[in-house]
């Protein structure tokens, strides 16, 4: 795959990720945990079909013998799937996406704390500026008497994502012990399937009784298969073609696309506090990743 084709495909991935907010705004009856349940269920069904075709019976045998990082990663995916959709139903799409944009900076901080990675000064500065951006957004919402519940729930998504990335890093660079060495070669993609199944199981009792219309099920099936499962499979393939900093930079397009879709397709205009906080978060992340990419080159 050429570099240009890989970049184009990564842009397609961010476009698919970004449709969640605007599609959710056009649901008839499904709300909160029911949205989470159907989206996670359709995601799990799509991944089951895709991974079974790719791995065959070895998928399920490997899953039963999978080491703890696979299950820990699955729990993180489940948290991300659940919190994201609940947050989307409680606050604006822009608030959720801006809050999630701080994820790479939290990941860098977790890597320093748990994996003892050395962080350059520019990354510490970016973490501080990104934190100020999120704090500004929270403070303005609180001062205006707005509910912070949705934004606080959205904050668990980058926290779970940072934990997930730390687990994946450990799986690739863990101890040289023979028992741990197998972890490095473990296929981590089934963790996404575990996450979808766990999210659906947890959300079902909270979503009962189910009220989704046929129209809702069609949209939620679109989210589970096209917005979640397919991009997850694609981005795993792209990690072999593009460096992590470049993927992180391209991934920021989800924020721009998602806010634009919600504005154009649902009339959801981002507020001043979201724009200011988002500018600080995205600016800090773009500068940090651009400097890192330039240094590596």
Tell me what pLDDT residue 183 has. 44
CB atoms within 10 A of CB 152: 15
**CA angle centred on 109, ends 12 and 134, rounded to 5°:** 70
pLDDT at 181 over 70: no
Tell me what pLDDT residue 288 has. 74
Tell me what pLDDT residue 60 has. 80
pLDDT at 137 over 70: yes
Residue 285 CA to residue 238 CA, distance in Å, equals 21
Mean pLDDT calculated for residue range 219-234:
91
Matching residue, tokens 């219309």: 213
pLDDT at 244 over 70: no
Burial environment of residue 185 by CB neighbours within 10 A (0 to 12, 13 to 18, 19 or more): exposed
User: Domain ranges in the chain?
Assistant: 3-296
**Range ranked top by mean pLDDT from 40-54, 88-102, 107-121, 270-284:** 40-54
pLDDT at 10 over 80: yes
Tell me what pLDDT residue 202 has. 93
User: What pTM, to 2 d.p., does this model score?
Assistant: 0.80
Residue 116 CA to residue 139 CA, distance in Å, equals 32
């Amino acid at each position: 795959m050429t570099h240009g084709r890989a970049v184009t495909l990564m842009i397609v991935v961010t476009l698919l990720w970004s449709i969640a907010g605007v599609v959710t705004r056009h649901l008839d009856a499904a709300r909160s945990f029911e949205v989470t349940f159907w989206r996670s269920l359709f995601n799990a069904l799509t991944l089951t079909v895709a991974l079974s075709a790719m791995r065959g019976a070895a998928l399920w045998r490997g899953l039963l013998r999978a080491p703890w990082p696979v299950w820990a990663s699955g729990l993180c995916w489940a948290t991300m799937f659940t919190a994201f959709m609940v947050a989307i139903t409680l606050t604006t799409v822009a608030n959720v996406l801006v809050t999630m944009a701080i994820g790479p900076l939290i990941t860098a901080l977790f890597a320093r704390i748990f994996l003892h990675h050395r962080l350059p000064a520019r990354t510490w500065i970016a973490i501080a500026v990104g934190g100020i951006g999120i704090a500004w957004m929270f403070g303005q919402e609180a001062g205006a008497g707005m509910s912070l519940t949705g934004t606080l729930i959205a904050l668990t998504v980058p926290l779970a994502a940072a934990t997930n990335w730390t687990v994946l890093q450990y799986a690739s660079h863990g101890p040289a012990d023979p028992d741990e060495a197998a972890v490095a070669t473990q296929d981590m993609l089934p963790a996404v399937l575990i996450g979808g199944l766990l999210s659906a199981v947890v959300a079902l009792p909270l979503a009962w009784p189910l009220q989704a219309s046929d129209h809702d099920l069609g949209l939620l099936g679109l989210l589970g298969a096209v917005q979640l499962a397919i991009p997850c499979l694609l981005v795993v393939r792209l990690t072999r073609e593009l460096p992590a900093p470049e993927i992180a930079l391209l991934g920021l397009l989800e924020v721009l696309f998602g806010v634009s879709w919600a504005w154009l397709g649902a009339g959801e205009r981002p507020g001043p506090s979201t724009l200011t906080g988002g500018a600080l978060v995205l600016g800090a992340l773009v500068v940090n990743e651009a400097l890192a990419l330039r240094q590596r080159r």
